[in-house]
Amino acid sequence: MKRLLLVMLVVLLTVMGCSGPAVPVPESSASPLGEQFQIALPRLTVDVDSEGTPSILGLSPTILNMFGVNTDAFKLPAETVQRLSEANVQHIEVAVVDEGLRLWVNGEAMPFVQTDAASLQRAVDFLGATGNSQAGMLQRLLPILTRFGLDVILRLPVQPGAAVIPVTTVGDARAPALVPSTDPASVIAKFEVKYDENGVPMIMGMDATGVVGQVLSEELIQKLQAANVQTLQIRNRADGFTLYVNGEPLPTLKWDTALLGNAADFLVQMMPEDSNAVPLVEAFLPTFDRGDVDVLIHLPLAPGAAPIPVKRAE
């Protein structure tokens, strides 16, 4: 945490002279504790050399070390940088803006996460219910994450002779438009799964272990019971994928045909040409938006728990 705050301070001091507009912050500056907290910066550029060493806004690792920032902690593995560079991935952009986390690779928009403070809080609570060790830290950071505007471009080494690919404009990074498919669903899967105390899934009164597998262990079910999680719903639509807990949505993964196609192209670029997964990615990933999937999972009630009315998302 101290290192993060120090890096933020160095970056703040460095960008004070930047003329670009600050990234919009999704919430007001007033925190739940009544204290003011809001940080929004212009777009930042981080250059990574072939060894994975970053330099921020032209500040070399030597200068950053003078501020006590050890860039070794932020280095990328050299083999990862090499793989990205050989695939002609010249820059990756991440923007925390417009109540979401958006991603671009070589200026091409990827599926992104759409969220708000309420769904983020549910996600952290759900992680805590599953026993995730990072839930406590995320809970403390939540007021910061929802009041932080950031747009970072990670520039990677360009292969000799490769044409330079332009980055997105700031306007494009603020309002990506979705065009959900209106084609009929190619796959329809709608059913309910009821788990018993031993973690055995049942579909229409029959043991479905051979169909859905042991997705939820007995231990995990007990943790969810303790948190009074009674239903989970998996919903796949033309415009994205959402997990609901007790009928309330967690952050949504948003997409359309174009974004899924971009993601497929990027994954294929990163795979060896002889990989058996390449045909699968090319065939199925771009069609995720044509799946009409609705799976409602019922979990056993904890002793003494009052049933929560099922609120099914359509």
Does any domain span residue 104?
Answer: yes
Domain that holds residue 66: 37-160
Say which residue the tokens 């026993």 belong to: 131
pLDDT for position 264: 95
Into how many domains does the chain fold?
2
Q: List the chain residues with pLDDT less than 70.
A: 1-35, 57-74, 98, 170-176, 214
Query: Is residue 82 located within the same domain as residue 121?
Result: yes
| Residues 284, 220 share a domain | yes
In a domain, 118, yes or no: yes
Q: Is residue 179 part of a domain?
A: no
Sort strands 201-203 and 112-114 into parallel, antiparallel or unpaired. Answer: unpaired
Alpha-carbon distance of 233 to 242, in angstroms, equals 8
> Reduced to 3 states, what is the DSSP secondary structure of residue 141?
helix
Q: What is the pTM of this model?
A: 0.82
In sequence order, the 6+-apart residues with CB closer than 8 A to the CB of 164 are 90, 158
The answer to whether the beta carbons of residues 174 and 97 sit under 8 Å apart is yes
Query: Is the same domain home to 56 and 147?
Result: yes
Tokens (6 digits) for 229: 């999680």
DSSP string of 58-119, one letter each residue:
TB-HHHHHHTT--GGGGPPPHHHHHHHHHTT--EEEEEE-SSEEEEEETTEE--EEE--HHH
Cα 242-220-116 angle, rounded to 5 deg: 30
Residues 208 and 246 in one domain: yes
192 and 105 together in one domain: no
pLDDT of residue 59: 57
